[in-house]
Amino acid sequence: MKLHLLIGLGLVTGLEVYGQNVQKIDGADTIKTHEKKIDEVVITALGIKKDKKTLGYAVQEVKGDVFEKAKEPNFINSLSGRVAGLNVKNSTDLFQDPGISLRGAKPLIVIDGVPDRTADLWRINADDIDNISVLKGPTASALYGSVGKDGAIMITTKKGKKGRMSISFNNSTMFQTSFIRIPKVQTTYGGGNNGKYAYIDGSGSGSEGGGWIWGPKLDQKDPTTPSGYYETPQYNSPIDPATGKPIPLPWISRGKNNIKNFFDTGVIQSNNLSVDWGSEKATFRLSLSNIYQKGIVPNTDLKTTSISLAGSVNPIEKLTINSTLTYNKEYTSNFPEVGYGPTNYLYNLVLWTGADVDVRDLRNYWVAGKEGYQQRHYNVSYYNNPYFQAYEYLRPYYKDNVMGNVNLEYQIIPKLSAKARVGTNVYALNREYREPKSYIGYGNKSLGNYTQINGNYFDITSELGLKYQNRFSENFSLTGEGYVSNFYREQKNSEIRTDGLVSPGWYNLFNSIGPLFAPKAGNRKEFEQINSVYGYVDMEIYKAFFLNMTARYDKVSTLPKGNNGYFYPSVSGSVLLNQLVTLPDWISFAKLRGSLAQVSNGKLANDTYGYISAFEKSDISWNGQSTFVFGDVLIDSNIKPETSNSWEIGTNISFLKNRINLDVAYYQTRDYNNLASIPLSEGVGYKTYLTNGNVFQRKGVEFTLNADVIKKSDFRWSTQLNLSHYRKYLKEAYGGKDYTTIYNAANGRNNFIRVGERADKLTAMPYETSPDGQLVLQNGYPVNSTAPFESNMGYSDPDWTYGLSNNFSYKNFSLSLLFDGRLGGTMYSTTNQKMWWGGIAPGTVNQYRDDANAGNNTYIAPGVRVVSGSITYDQNGNIKSDTRVFVPNDVAVNYNAYMQSTSNAFESNYHYYKQTFIKLREITVTYNFEKSFAEKLGVSSASVSLIGRNLWLASKIKNVDPDSGVDQLQTPATRSFGVNLNVKF
């Protein structure tokens, strides 16, 4: 009965049931019982390998082969949906880091056991990744001290393997051919204001309408003109030699496809060649990689080149040496500016360019006779020609990275060994900003400028320790390691720029009109040192009880003396229930686990010298002499490092002879001694007081389900579901207050949060409403709320973050599909708000707009107006009294003016939208050539894959992809298609 039920569910086909082998069922081949091992080994802190069953905290591993085919320029993007609790907010912009958070905080990046404090994700070559272990929570990463207080992403690179020499070549070519979501704009009306437009000189004044897209209707017939359409002077009008004025041109919708006509097809080309060899005494691996990305924005690209050498050697008996060395170069002649503002292509192309302008006409971006001096555009006061921006406003970037480490282990006696490790991280960075003459910023026209930025970074970690390992009996074993460690960091940054350019187009510091300027924020030299003692003890009792204890003491240079040493303890344990009690036959494995940890932050506000009050050099000079100012922040003399106490419980259960595996984790973290900036009266000489203040609580639950749904000899189907839920609450506010403000990137502002509320609450000051929720208007326009506190617009953290992957294999073919997304969560959309404000939103096409263009006020906003009475609030924002008497709003206003004033905020929930989405993140179809065919080609194995990334998106928010969790007018998300070729010799 049980067997027939399992077969009916599709979960069992030819497996061992209740300890007996089933040879064939409906033609299915026999499946061996113990193909999947519970004794899985994972990489933990310090690069130590441990049996996963012994761990008292959550760890999830991702194998390196998932990064080999469907290439992303940044490997972190490929982790989307693959790890429960890891939220990757993918950026659609070229050379922009994705937002990553693990249990609500940014994790540490660790490469081969050595922390990478620079967290430069672009320099890590996907082809060199052997596996990634995600250590969740501070217990898992407490041995790294403060930098590991929020978990860690452990990257283990490939090493040489024993055996004959092998050569591998891997090529992936991806084409970004289409957009998954682009802003849909109206093409019925053109530029201008109040239905009028006539080009004068590009200043935006007068009849040019100030740069709005509230101009006349396009494509209107007029039999009195030569073209048969309404005509008006435009930026590209020829000049009448007799009058010297622009000749009117047809006012028609030339630019209906401006977005598609401007952007190019992007290309991501990745090549890797590796050589692998090993013997009993030594192994090595040499890897050469290159990634070229051509951006969808014209004249933008990104190139990264890596050379990596890894190996191990046993020069004498009992001594093992492992080492890796990687050189990486990131370089581009130009990559696009992001964020809302004049430097963003979409700012000019989507929001502030009407369909009356064809972007293809702007390719000739210099005014004739003024090349190098004046860009050509329909408006030269507020906006930049997109092609002028792409080809003249250049942002070169050159960065050389060197990473390396050496690990030694010497077996002193059978149970005791000495270990040493040295890891270093070095980079040199050179950046330039080449700003052409006539470039438009906010409210200014550039005289041309050149900025040069240089950065040099060096850190080294040295560790020396002992390892003791002993199995005292069959029922008890102990392993422990203890280390002394030193970390040293040195960083130098310099920035200098011109004060205008004498000769436009010559980008040289000697071409400055005025004195060179060196801003204080860009010129800095830092030193940091951490001396540490740390270690751990692992115990195994009766092969069923596992206990791990860690301790670390740091003394740092980044906190005031007397308060710069602190202790990090953690303890975790697990119990294997299947070793203690007899479980039902359908339960293969069952484990309970739990952990506790305390971790502190070694810096104030992540500032190396944040604890020091001192004079600083000012950006202002006096008679050519430098001036100095004292900081405006008063620092609490007893300030303490931010600290987190965390605990976690979880379980891991396997069913049906390990065919189904479920992992569940629940955690809570209390973050206290958080820094708070308290406003002060400037009469005391300071603006703010920096002290310890707010207390937060983080908690969440994570589920990971793995299943081998079908497992035949020629056909297999496996699936994985990752699901996580996270919340953060304000538990205490500084000074006993019942509220505070917290910045949130999801709406780009400080939000009003009460004690006990979620810390991710998004707030805004709304309009007044009647008790039944209708908009209150006065003189036809909304009335701003007089409440003392802002209203709740939603919460930025989703209810659930999920990923679902399926892998199928049939003979030589394999297919993998990855879906991921979020349920719930709210974000503010700058794009949608500006589209309504500027007149480019499709919803602005209506009769009211035609009436307004004709000078008639016909728009009556839905809502009510007050004829008597008033509303009052108490100090907490609650309604104290409401004696208002309402009648339906009957005041007609100008539709154009109403939308410019309100951006349709009330009808659009103030432009706060749900983040909920599901995305088909990846499809990979692979064919592995028969060995006999591969040998005919002179290779040992070969495979070819067809790949698709970001193929489909379903979400309710209009015009933008909610993947990044914020909307600051980012580049439209693109679909990618390509092919991968993998050959081994």
- The pLDDT score that the predictor gives to residue 146 is 87
Residues composing the chain: 985
pLDDT (average), residues 773-784: 96
Q: Give residue 883's pLDDT.
A: 94
- Cα separation of 670 and 310, whole Å? 41
What's the pLDDT at 443?
A: 66
- What is the amino acid identity at position 430? N
What is the rounded CA–CA span in Å between residue 883 and residue 875?
19
Average pLDDT, the chain: 89
**pLDDT tens figures, 695-721:** 999 999 999 999 999 988 899 999 999
How are beta strands 761-764 and 791-795 bridged, if at all? Answer: antiparallel
Instruction: Kindly report the three-state secondary structure assignment for every residue of 136-190.
Output: CCHHHHHHHHHHHCCCEEEEEECCCCCEEEEEEEEEEEEEEEEEEECCCCCCCEC
Q: How many CA atoms lie within 13 A of 285 on its CB side?
A: 24
Both ends of the chain: CA-CA distance in Å? Answer: 51
166: pLDDT strictly greater than 70: yes
676 confidence band (pLDDT: 50, 70, 90): confident
Q: Please determine, for residue 677, whether its predicted confidence score (pLDDT) is greater than 90.
A: no
**Which tens digit of pLDDT belongs to each residue from 203-244?**
999 999 988 999 999 999 999 999 999 999 999 999 999 998
When pLDDT is cut at 50, 70 and 90, the band that residue 939 belongs to is confident
263: DSSP letter: P
CA 645 to centroid of chain Cα atoms: 26
pLDDT score of 20 more than 70: no
- Residues in Cβ contact with 427 at an 8 Å cutoff, skipping those fewer than 6 apart: 118, 120, 399, 400, 401, 402, 455, 456, 457
Amino acid at 431: R
Chain segment 909-920, per-residue pLDDT in tens: 999 999 999 999
Contact 117, 425 (CB under 8 A): yes
- Stretch 511-530: mean pLDDT: 90
Predicted confidence band at 132 (pLDDT cuts at 50, 70, 90)?
very high
3-state class percentages of the chain: helix first, strand second, coil last, to nearest 5: 15, 50, 35
- Decide if 639 contacts 692 (C-beta within 8 A): yes
pLDDT of residue 68: 84
* Structure confidence at residue 71 (pLDDT): 79
pLDDT at site 575: 96
Choose among 699, 750, 752, 757: nearest CA to 731.
757
pLDDT grade for 509, boundaries at 50, 70 and 90: very high
Give me the mean pLDDT over the 745-755 stretch. Answer: 93
Q: How would you classify the pairing of strands 625-630 and 615-622?
A: antiparallel
In this predicted structure, the answer to whether residue 320 has a pLDDT above a threshold of 70 is: yes
**pTM, whole model, 2 decimals?**
0.90
Q: 624: pLDDT confidence band, cut at 50, 70 and 90? A: low
Question: How confident is the model at residue 623, as a pLDDT?
Answer: 65
- pLDDT of 28 above 50: no
* Phi–psi pair at 84, nearest 5 degrees: -65, 130
Per-residue pLDDT band for 329 (boundaries 50, 70, 90) equals: very high
What pLDDT is stored for residue 637 in this prediction? 81
Mean pLDDT of the region 955-961 = 93
Q: 633, 178 in Cβ contact below 8 A?
A: no
Mean pLDDT across 456-460? 96
pLDDT digits (tens, 9 = 90+) for 76-117: 888 999 999 999 988 878 888 888 999 999 999 999 888 998
Non-local CB neighbours of 793 within 8 Å, separated by 6+ positions: 747, 762, 763, 764, 826, 828, 909, 910, 912
- Residue 544 to residues 56, 121, 413, 594: CA-CA distances in angstroms? 12, 39, 28, 14
pLDDT at 778: 96
pLDDT (0 to 100) of residue 619: 64
Q: Identify the band that residue 11 occupies on the pLDDT scale cut at 50, 70 and 90.
A: very low
Q: Tens digits of per-residue pLDDT, 477-491?
A: 999 999 999 999 999
